Chain A
Amino acid sequence: MNEFRFGPIRFVLDYSQPLYEQVLEQFRNSIAKGEIALGEKMPSVRELAQALKINPNTVLRAYQELERDALTETRRGQGTFITRDADRVAEIRRKLAEQAVNDFLDKMRSLGLTRDEIMRLLEERGG
């Protein structure tokens, strides 16, 4: 495990998992959570590669994915910026939440719990 800080984000990199996915997920989660403000400038590929001590290609790959998700946009000669589109961020946040629910349900079903039992557990737990 390697830990680095960049601005408000604390990156934790685990070398036993693909690094690009970790960089991507940590940015995506931080944007969804609002830790990084809309329209904010992203670190350059070089800056982040230096800060994380990772191959610039790895950072580039994560950045390309964020751009494909329309969470960032690159302005020629100015760098890469977080989108200003709040709806887009809300959409991604919802997607991440759905994914978390799916993972949770898969786990519950693998334990053999029925829908009713799962709902009861959630209600018992409250807020």
Chain B
Amino acid sequence: MSRMASDAIVFENVTKGYGKGRGLHDLSLAIPEGSVTAILGPNGAGKSTLMRAITGMTVPDKGTLSVFGRPPGWELNRLIAYLPDRARWYGGHTVAEALEWGERLLAGFNRERALRLTVDYRLDPEMEVKGMSKGQEARLMLALCLARDVPLYVLDEPFSGIDMISREQIVVSLIDAFSERRQTVLISTHEIAETESLFDYAVFIGDGRAVLCGDVEELRAQRGSLRDIYRQLFG
């Protein structure tokens, strides 16, 4: 799979072993630039490993991958807003301090948008991260990510552990962000039913391989909703 002008991310035969069948196995895929792509698959299928490989935090044993035509690494990470699947970075911070931290350390951080997002997500600037609910913390993490003006967003399970109302709010704010700017977005999620309308490209991963990739509208015409396809593949 060679890189097309319109592909933001290309994996070619990437293998990363973790033993016990976890990791990536000869995975090849191409993610179109400007797409909002769903990364779907059961637990342990390799979704988080794939995302970590994009940010250079995991180095493949075999195969190659490129992001905007370049190998992953710290230089490229200036262009990527990454939301890890589990993270507690700001334990001693208030919301306001977390934003200051973001402004100092995160490339492309847009303070104005960060403030607007915290208002949208009903996060009080004085609130301490320590005492936050899982949903509040997830919204803060996401606000820090979406506040960045970068061409690639990699969001690992941004909806997990979040109540339905927060989830809807996040979906709406993501749509807002996509209307404003045209960036490439990768989102892994198990919340397919509530989020599938967001996506225009989808990658189904099973046992470390890309089982099915495609334009979501074409997949709908051929096989039904993303939720139906997930059931066909993994049910």
Contact = CB atoms under 8 A, between A and B. Distances in A.
B179 A54 contact: no
A56 B178 contact: yes
B220 A19 contact: yes
Contact of A55 (B36, B225, B227, B228): B36
Contacts of B226: 15
Contacts of B228: 16
Contact of B225 (A15, A21, A46, A52): A15
Interface residues of A, number: 20
B17 to A, nearest CB: 35
Contacts of B172: 50, 53
Contacts of B217: 18-21, 58
A46 B224 CA distance: 26
Contacts of B225: 15-16
A17 to B, nearest CB: 6
B191 to A, nearest CB: 13
B24 to A, nearest CB: 27
A82 interface: no
Contacts of B162: none
A15 B194 CA distance: 11
Q: Give the interface centre of A20, A54, A57 by most chain B CB atoms within 10 Å.
A: A57
A15 B197 CA distance: 7
Contacts of A52: 197
Contacts of A20: 217
A25 B168 CA distance: 26
A13 B197 contact: yes
B185 to A, nearest CB: 10
Nearest to A46: B179
Contacts of A89: none
Contact of B175 (A2, A16, A49): A49
B38 to A, nearest CB: 11
B171 interface: yes
Contact of A50 (B176, B196, B227): B176
A18 B225 CA distance: 9
Interface in B212-235: 217-218, 220-221, 224-228
A55 B221 CA distance: 17
Interface in A21-65: 21, 45-46, 49-50, 52-58
Given A15-B196, A15-B197, A15-B226, A55 B220 contact: no
A15 B220 contact: yes
Contacts of A57: 36, 178, 200
A107 B59 CA distance: 58
Given A16-B228, A54-B197, A49 B220 contact: no
B90 interface: no
B224 A55 contact: no
15 contacts: A2-B197, A15-B197, A15-B220, A15-B225, A16-B224, A18-B217, A19-B220, A46-B175, A46-B179, A53-B168, A54-B197, A55-B36, A56-B178, A56-B179, A57-B178
Top 9 closest pairs, chain A to chain B, by CB: A15-B225, A46-B179, A16-B224, A18-B217, A16-B225, A54-B197, A56-B179, A18-B220, A18-B221
